[in-house]
């Protein structure tokens, strides 16, 4: 089954612009698939994932999402987009994962409190629950954001550079979580820049360089010809 389909998706300032961020992206993410969006810096990877979730609108083409999944998608933003000065504890950050179920005014019942505690334990932050997020390292903050996703429990995970600026142990722990989501039949789409990591972990890959280089099974996409083409486009400034 198709979870998300992209048809001629083009993103930029206006339809007639020569400076498109993304041009003519076509393909689909099967339900339950685990796909990396890979490409050089500036290739439009984060733009695509924000377009999928609806933060950005295509100037041409469209994104189709299975109607049963529209309210079941969650985005993990890049760590650099998180304001660590905001006065919120780790527990409260993780608890935000339950917001869509409870709304802004209901208190957390026992079931939700237990889910939050389990998520904290799953990422190894149970002892940091009462700390402000500003006291956390980059790896700890990413663990907290993953715990929020665990509490949210969506059908579709959209991850923007989930392994950037974190330590190796945290990276491996988070990979295990992602693989667990995939094994449960959830759809995982992750923006990455490390081709070796993609080849090791992700069954499917979309290779971007502002345009679509290749999309399919990772072994078929990550050929030297495809990677060289992406590099050449990056050197030309796309």
pLDDT per position as a tens digit, 69-106: 999 999 999 999 999 999 999 999 999 999 877 766 66
Give CA separation, 116 vs 97, 174, 179, 189, in Å. 8, 17, 20, 24
pLDDT at site 138:
95
- Give which of 117, 123, 193, 131 is closest to 161, Cα–Cα: 193
User: Which of these ranges, 7-11, 16-20, 229-233, has the smallest mean pLDDT?
Assistant: 16-20
- Give which of 59, 78, 43 is closest to 214, Cα–Cα: 43
Question: Does the structure show a pLDDT above 90 at 40?
Answer: yes
Residue 49: exposure state from Cβ atoms within 10 A (0-12, 13-18, ≥19): buried
The pLDDT confidence band at residue 18, using thresholds 50, 70 and 90, is low
The pLDDT confidence band at residue 19, using thresholds 50, 70 and 90, is confident
Domains of the chain and any CATH numbers = 1-72+154-238 (3.40.50.300), 80-153 (no CATH)
- Give which of 50, 41, 36, 120 is closest to 81, Cα–Cα: 50
The pLDDT confidence band at residue 237, using thresholds 50, 70 and 90, is confident
Question: Does the structure show a pLDDT above 90 at 116?
Answer: yes
Mind listing the pLDDT tens digit for each residue in 171-220? 999 999 999 999 999 999 999 999 999 999 999 999 999 999 999 999 99
Looking at per-residue confidence, does 39 or 13 come out higher? 39
Averaged pLDDT of the chain: 94
User: Which of these ranges, 120-124, 144-148, 216-220, 232-236, has the smallest mean pLDDT?
Assistant: 232-236
Cα Rg of the chain, angstroms: 18
Instruction: Tell me if 116 sits within 8 A of 151, measured CB to CB.
Output: yes
Mind listing the pLDDT tens digit for each residue in 128-176? 999 999 999 999 999 999 999 999 999 999 999 999 989 999 999 999 9
pTM of the shown model: 0.94
């Amino acid at each position: 089954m198709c979870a998300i389909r992209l048809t001629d998706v083009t993103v930029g300032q206006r339809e007639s612009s020569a400076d498109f961020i993304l041009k003519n992206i076509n393909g689909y993410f099967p339900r339950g698939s685990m796909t990396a969006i890979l490409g050089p810096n500036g290739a439009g990877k984060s733009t695509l994932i924000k377009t999928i979730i609806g933060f950005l609108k295509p100037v041409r083409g469209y994104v189709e999402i299975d109607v049963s999944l529209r309210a079941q998608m969650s985005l993990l933003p890049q760590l650099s987009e998180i304001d660590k000065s905001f006065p919120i504890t780790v527990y409260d950050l993780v608890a935000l994962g339950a917001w869509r179920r409870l709304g802004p005014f209901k208190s957390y019942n026992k079931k939700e409190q237990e889910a939050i505690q389990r998520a904290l334990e799953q990422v190894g932050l149970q002892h940091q629950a009462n700390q402000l997020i500003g006291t956390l390292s980059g790896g700890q903050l990413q663990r907290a954001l993953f715990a929020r996703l665990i509490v949210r429990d969506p059908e579709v995970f959209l991850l923007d550079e989930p392994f950037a600026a974190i330590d190796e142990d945290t990276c491996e722990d988070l990979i295990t979580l992602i693989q667990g989501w995939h094994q449960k039949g959830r759809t995982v789409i992750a923006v990455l820049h490390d081709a070796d990591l993609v080849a090791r972990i992700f069954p499917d890959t979309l290779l971007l360089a502002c345009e679509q280089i290749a999309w399919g099974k990772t072994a078929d996409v990550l050929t030297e010809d495809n990677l060289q083409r992406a590099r050449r486009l990056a050197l030309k400034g796309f």
